Amino acid sequence: MSLNEAKANFSQYGAIKKEFVQEVRAPLPEEFPAHHMRVARSR
């Protein structure tokens, strides 16, 4: 699988392959990019 295929699948399914959807957990609040930006700026 190419990186582009994995990205497209992740956008569509939330996982790199449809069969892995049940294995993926929701992101933790600190894993969102906006959180990382606030932390990086506050240092």
Give CA angle at 6 (33, 37), nearest 5°: 10
pLDDT level of residue 13 (50, 70, 90 thresholds): very high
Report the mean per-residue pLDDT for the chain: 84
pLDDT above 60: residue 43 = no
Task: Give the residue, 21 or 40, on which the prediction is more confident.
Answer: 21
pTM: 0.57
> Structural domain tally of the chain?
1
- Taking the C-alpha atoms of residue 24 and residue 21, their distance in angstroms, rounded to an integer, is 6
> Which residues span the domain enclosing 26?
3-42
What confidence score (pLDDT) does residue 8 get? Answer: 95
User: 18-35: per-residue pLDDT in tens?
Assistant: 999 999 998 888 888 775
Tokens of 14: 């939330």
